[in-house]
Amino acid sequence: MDMIVEQHGPTSHPASHPESHPDSKTDIHRGRLRLGETVYPCALGRSGILTDKKEGDGGTPAGNWQIGDCWFRPDKWQTPIQTLKTLEITPNSGWSDDPTDPDYNRPVTLPHGYSHESLWRTDNQYDVIIPLNYNFAPVVPGAGSAIFFHLAKPDYGPTEGCVAVSHADMEAILPLLTPQTRMIIRA
């Protein structure tokens, strides 16, 4: 079963450059995730859904993306009940976001000599993450990295380009995902 993600905020601007529209609102980062008949609120990137994603633009990339393995923090989350392969997040887990890094948009072990995100965070947002296969094969430097399905902030504030749901909704969604599940993000 695929997940369908759509923007819930204003959509009267071009999806590729919402910041340039004079009527842009701050709620373009609010979305809906549909899985079967159930609809969940979700947070999107601060720039909403974009058709031309670039590194650092804060946009969630429109497209049809295969989901990856489920990464989780074993100190904060029990091994999720699911059919996805699971990987444990450790204090040394990171993800490269540096376009000059040969490991750009790939998991890395910290310390790492290039710019990266730490997957071991104090804000709980990365207690569970599922990478989307955005910019995976081939990897294009500068096209965007670290696009995950993860846990939302309590107020569903914007992400840096990911799709995020509440802890309770993630618990409900995880058992329904399979290695064949795709996340379809509609601009």
> Active-site positions?
150, 162
Contacts of 147 (CB under 8 A, 6+ apart): 60, 61, 65, 131, 132, 134, 135, 161, 162
* Calpha distance 128→68 (Å, rounded): 12
Residues 50, 62: contact at Cβ < 8 Å? yes
Q: Are 57 and 47 in contact (CB under 8 A)?
A: yes
**Adjacent-strand bridge partners of 175:** none
Strands 148-151 and 128-131: antiparallel
Bridge partners, 41 (sequence order): 32
